[in-house]
Amino acid sequence: MPESLPAPLQLQVPTHLAFVRPVRKMLEGLLYAQGWTEDDVDDAALIITEIVQNAVEHGSRGDGTESVRIVIDARTDAVEMEVEDPGSGEDPRTALERDVETPVPLEESRGRGLFLIYRLAGDMQRTLGEAGGLCIRARKEISAS
């Protein structure tokens, strides 16, 4: 079993929701190859799904003409994920200002993505990216056995 990837995986994916699942599946494969448990893989996969889906739905036009930058550093003890959207969608300051520690009321049909990422990741940061969009960094450590 490999100890870790020799370098972080860097991707540029089109801003279309059809690319969310392949990114998730790629991450799952990387983590299973590192010996991660199913529960830990599921948590990390949900994190990357939420981040990439939010980047497409909120940080871009969502028409596939732009790209989302993704960096995945998968190791045997943790995975670091960084996703930056192009910034052509909603104002990224909205996501920067959102309270991620308080769950969204149950009657709301949307708005749980950042809360889920925050709760599942051991560490999450939100910043403005180089292109003016939102950049989310999340770190998920493997659970103690």
pTM for this entry: 0.91
Whether 4 is in a domain gets the answer no
Domain span at 109: 9-141
Q: Structurally, how many domains does the chain consist of? A: 1
Residue 71 is part of a domain; what is its CATH number? 3.30.565.10
Whether 62 is in a domain gets the answer yes
DSSP E strands in the chain: the ranges are 9-14, 67-74, 78-84, 123-128, 134-141
Quick one: residue 87, left, alpha or beta (phi over 0 = left, psi -120 to 50 = alpha)? Answer: left
Residue 67: partners with Cβ closer than 8 Å, 6 or more residues away: 12, 13, 14, 15, 86
Whether 86 is in a domain gets the answer yes
Residues 13-47 pLDDT 10s: 999 999 999 999 999 999 999 899 999 999 999 99
Whether 2 is in a domain gets the answer no
Whether 37 is in a domain gets the answer yes
Whether 3 is in a domain gets the answer no
Confidence grade of residue 112 (pLDDT, cut at 50, 70, 90): confident
Residue 100, judged by CB atoms within 10 A of its CB (0-12, 13-18, 19+), counts as: middle
